[in-house]
Amino acid sequence: MNHDFKKNLEQMADEVEKDLLRCFDKLFDAPDIIISSMKYSLFAGGKRIRPVLMRKTCELFGGTIEDVRALSCAIEMIHTYSLIHDDLPEMDNDDLRRGQPSNHKVYGNNIAVLAGDALLNYAVETAVSGIKHLPESKKSCGIQSLNVLMNASGVNGMIGGQVGDVLAENDDEMNAEKLKYIHSHKTGALLTAALLCGSIMAGADEKSLKLIRQYGESIGTAFQIVDDVLDVTSDTKTLGKPVHSDQEDHKTTMVSLYGLESAQEKVTEYYQAACRALDELSIDTEFYRQMADYICKRAY
Amino acid sequence: MNHDFKKNLEQMADEVEKDLLRCFDKLFDAPDIIISSMKYSLFAGGKRIRPVLMRKTCELFGGTIEDVRALSCAIEMIHTYSLIHDDLPEMDNDDLRRGQPSNHKVYGNNIAVLAGDALLNYAVETAVSGIKHLPESKKSCGIQSLNVLMNASGVNGMIGGQVGDVLAENDDEMNAEKLKYIHSHKTGALLTAALLCGSIMAGADEKSLKLIRQYGESIGTAFQIVDDVLDVTSDTKTLGKPVHSDQEDHKTTMVSLYGLESAQEKVTEYYQAACRALDELSIDTEFYRQMADYICKRAY
């Protein structure tokens, strides 16, 4: 991977980190354990891909980080809450996340449920508070962006994908179409929302929004297939979570459906589709190309 | 109870019901089971107290139902999601809700977690979409109201109260102060938010907001103590859920702390505090007095 790109990414992630910390730099009228549990997962070394994508996109389309500061913190909180709930015993039952015990292993299942709820709720509080402080002329863009974000994280997006994933576990008739629905919704929706929110806040035109959506959907689906592939090809230390869990859970994945090689070919196809969308964009797309590399070519 | 008041309440609840149904009168890009699970709990015969309070308050302060139509649907979805998660095995582990099997008994624990998440998320989608369609002059009130609602439902409000409730179960040092925190946050916060959102959307002044908040906090706390009392004095059929569950769960309640009689006296104290706030309000307060009666004097 391009060294400068990685450095740039880490720098932006650091800024996101500081802003997220600032979101918790206040007194809460709540028992300490819930704040501690929220922070445990939020500050567990995530790569901040979604908020970084949103901020960089807003800049590339002519806006500023300030325009999306709150909203980009919100999207990371939403992503984090979904991981906490995904790991619960009744869901994926994962004991490890990013190499550390999952939230419910540390705080108990009841607090983990509530910490997830609390992060989703606090994401909205953060975003709404951000809209309140936007200049008058940008408020309607702020409302539209929050609308896009919440659609992407709800039943028509991420939650729908997660439901599909849960149902897939005991589905004897799993097929490529169902799996594509899961991939595009569980991961693609929120990544795409990051791009859309950034460009909407910068006032991008409809054509650009359509292309950036195509790019987002492609890298989002690729991202999920890469996850499936890594579960087979990587090891627990590199991945930071148990490998071969899909096979143990009898989960249908792109690998179990098509085999490892075809799954890797699919990643390449989506990678190329992402690049085609970029070809038509009239802004500097170098960052997006590097990001596609970063997502599609990690660890193999 | 005043017959006209009850009829009026039912009529308003019917209108809320229709609006909630309309929120689901569309195609969702999601597996049927999650929509079905969300609707199962949302349309399980709730009394719609929070949305009715919001709508009536908006009207009493000079606004229209239209101003809070979406937001009042949102608050009911938030209330419903909290019940689904409260009933989960890792939380209160309640098999019955309003006389029917709890969400997780019908759909499984995993779908119940996701249905709760989805309702919270859809509440925000509904509210934000409502703000988008408000007249330009009312949009900032809409944003302020959503801010108030999300604060009330989050860690500084309802979720904080629920965490307190969870911690109380094995707390040998429970006392009146901790219990008051739980009561005021778990139930009071959202009831108060209903009143505040209604009055903010109608453009009420600061003094009125302060008084309506006092009223809301008082009836909210009373409401929760009444719940504790009914768990001792009522029966499963009347209550629609198992009685004596607090005692079986070794839960500290106002009844276990002070005895039945003192708990009932507390209800009267909060009822009177609610009425004192109303005395200072310059609008017609008859509805609020009847509502206080309705909440404090149900079933005993």
Q: What pLDDT digit, counting tens, does each position of B162-191 carry?
A: 999 999 888 888 898 999 999 899 989 999
| pLDDT value of residue A224 | 86
Q: Is B99 on the interface with A (CB under 8 A)?
A: no
Determine the average pLDDT of the residues in A121-145. 96
> Are A113 and B131 inside 8 Å of each other by CB?
no
Residue A294 · residue A1 · CB < 8 Å:
yes
Q: Would you state the structure tokens that stand for residue B96, as one six-digit string? A: 């019955």
- Judged by CB atoms closer than 8 Å, whether chains meet at B139 and A143 is answered as yes
Q: CB–CB of A112/A103 below 8 Å? A: yes
- Choose the weakest-confidence range: A33-42, A288-297, B66-75: A288-297
CA dihedral of A108, A114, A120, A126, whole degrees rounded to 10: -110
**Closest of B274, B266, B81 to residue B195, by C-alpha:** B274
Query: Does A237 have pLDDT greater than 70?
Result: no
Q: Which two tokens stand for residue B252?
A: 């500290």
Q: CB-CB: which of A110, A125, A162 is closest to B166?
A: A110
The DSSP 8-state label assigned to residue A26 in this structure reads S
Between A258 and B120, the more confident residue is: B120
Q: How many CA atoms lie within 13 A of A229 on its CB side?
A: 23
Amino acid letter for position A159: I
Residue of A77, A102, A121 best to disrupt the B interface, most CBs of B under 10 A: A121
Q: How many residues in chain B?
A: 300
Q: How far apart are CA B71 and CA A78, in angstroms?
A: 21
- From CA A116, how far away is CA A84, in angstroms rounded? 6
Question: For position A172, what pLDDT does the model report?
Answer: 85
The whole-number pLDDT of residue A234 equals 76
pLDDT of B224 higher than 90: no
Residue A122: pLDDT band (50, 70, 90) is very high
Half-sphere exposure of A145 (CA within 13 A, CB side): 33
Q: Is B85 exposed, middle or buried, given 0-12, 13-18 or 19+ CB atoms closer than 10 A? A: buried
Helices (H), A90-249: 103-107, 109-132, 139-153, 158-168, 176-183, 189-201, 206-233, 236-239, 245-248
The token pair that represents B119 in the structure block: 């309702």
H/E stretch holding B124 reads: helix B109-132
pLDDT tens readout for residues B18-77:
999 999 999 999 999 999 999 999 999 999 999 999 999 999 999 999 999 999 999 999
User: In which domain, by residue range, is A26 found?
Assistant: 3-296
Chain B contact set for A185 (CB, 8 A): 29
Q: Does residue A243 register a pLDDT over 90?
A: no
Residue A182 belongs to domain with CATH number = 1.10.600.10
Categorize the per-residue pLDDT at B300 as very low, low, confident or very high, splitting at 50, 70 and 90. very low
The span from the CA of A37 to the CA of A35, in Å, is 5
CB A209 within 8 A of CB A200: yes
Instruction: Average the pLDDT over A142-146 and give the result.
Output: 97
Tell me which residues of chain A, numbers 148 to 207, contact chain B at a CB-CB cutoff of 8 Å: 150-151, 153-156, 159-160, 162-164, 166-167, 185
| Domains held by chain A: number | 1
Q: Give pLDDT, residue A183.
A: 87
Structure tokens at A194: 């990051």
Residues A164 and B126 sit within 8 Å (Cβ to Cβ): no
Provide the pLDDT for residue A161: 96
pLDDT of residue B295: 85
Q: Which residue has the tokens 């991977």?
A: A1
- Collapsing DSSP to helix, strand or coil, A97 comes out as strand
- Main-chain phi, psi angles of A225, to 5 degrees: -65, -40
Name residue A178's amino acid. K
Query: What average pLDDT does this structure show over A63-78?
Result: 98
pLDDT at position A300, please?
46
